[in-house]
Amino acid sequence: MAFGLIIIGDEILSGRRIDKHFPKVLELLGQRGLQLSWAEYLGDDPDRITATLKRTLATQDVVFCTGGIGATPDDHTRQCAAAALGVPVVLHPQAKEKIQERIADMARESGATPDFDAPENQHRLKMGEFPQGASIIPNPYNKIPGFSLPNTSGEGAHYFAPGFPVMAWPMFEWVLENHYADQFHRHAWAERSMLVYEAMESTLTPLMEAIEAQFPLVKVFSLPHVGDQQTRRHIDLGVKGDPTQVEPAFEKMQEGLRALRAEFQISA
């Protein structure tokens, strides 16, 4: 099962706001023995959002999507998801109920009686208009729900939450705990690495290829660093994958580096 992430908002691409969702989703998945397979950033362009969702909805992936589900002119995600599926946007009855609960809460906090027919409250109901066939995702912060859609492939699903971390993160965590708990820690995973100083990747490539050939359940990674005030030029070299092969593969890597007379330091 592959997990993906779509982050929507002009404010991210312009730098007005710094994305915090990517590292948090990595954390939420990692805590459960899961991994993120891909991520995409999109601006508030309806055509691009629609085309992206049409493509990703055709996969078997589990996709988290943040941003653009409000009811202002720059929020397009709900409508784009509907367009990608070729279905109308309709007011979800459970979403209507939750939004009206929120309206009543706000009225009580200000000592007033809720007027559900007031123009501003009728407009708030638009946040509960989702593609036909959607299910809601509860929002513990302010009760305004997100929504989910099954993929057109028949496998996997998309989960849509607001761009606000205080809302999106607990909503995504709820999705994982309530829909994918059977996937937690199903595949053992290990990773070992070292810093190889003043080395060239071209020199290390034959060793890397030999290790992957001998240990098919691991992947070798090589991350060059040009050096800075804290460290010399080096390559972060390592192996990751099935724990039963990671350790012997890592030992083999060290043997190969010694044969090359390379200077290295094992990472903590």
Give residue 227's pLDDT: 86
In whole angstroms, give the CA distance from residue 108 to residue 141.
17
Distance CA 207, CA 56 (A): 37
Q: What pLDDT digit, counting tens, does each position of 185-211 carry?
A: 988 889 999 999 999 999 999 999 999
Report all structural domains of the chain as residue ranges with CATH numbers, in order of start.
Answer: 3-183 (3.40.980.10), 190-266 (3.30.70.1130)
Task: Let me know if 113 is exposed, middle or buried by CB neighbors in 10 A (0-12, 13-18, 19+).
Answer: exposed
Task: Give backbone dihedrals phi and psi of 160, rounded to 5 degrees, phi first.
Answer: -110, 130
Beta strands in 111-154 (DSSP E): 129-131, 135-137, 146-150
Q: How far apart are CA 34 and CA 225, in angstroms?
A: 27
3-state SS, residue 62:
strand
23-76: pLDDT as tens digits: 999 999 999 999 999 999 999 999 999 999 999 999 999 999 999 999 999 999
The arithmetic mean of pLDDT across residues 242-264, rounded, is 96
Strands (E), 27-178: 36-42, 62-66, 89-91, 129-131, 135-137, 146-150, 157-161
pLDDT at 230: 84
Tokens describing residue 126: 């638009």
| Ramachandran area for residue 123 (φ above 0: left; ψ -120 to 50: alpha; else beta) | alpha
- Amino acid 181: pLDDT: 96
The DSSP H or E segment spanning 262 is none
> Of the candidates 94, 74, 99, 90, which has an alpha carbon nearest to the alpha carbon of residue 11?
74
The token pair that represents 171 in the structure block: 């909503």
CA-closest candidate to residue 87, choices 42, 150, 136, 161: 150
Q: Which has the closest alpha carbon to 245: 194, 190, 193? A: 190
Amino acid at site 217: L
pTM of the model: 0.87
Percent of the chain residues past pLDDT 70, beyond the cut: 100
Counting Cα atoms < 13 Å in the Cβ hemisphere of 108 gives 6
pLDDT of residue 1: 81
What pLDDT is recorded for position 218?
96
Side-chain-side CA neighbours of 74 within 13 Å: the count stands at 9
Q: How many CA atoms lie within 13 A of 155 on its CB side?
A: 6
Count how many residues are written for the chain. Answer: 268
pLDDT at 268 over 80: no
Mean pLDDT of the chain: 95
Average pLDDT over residues 139-151: 97
Mean pLDDT of 132-154: 97
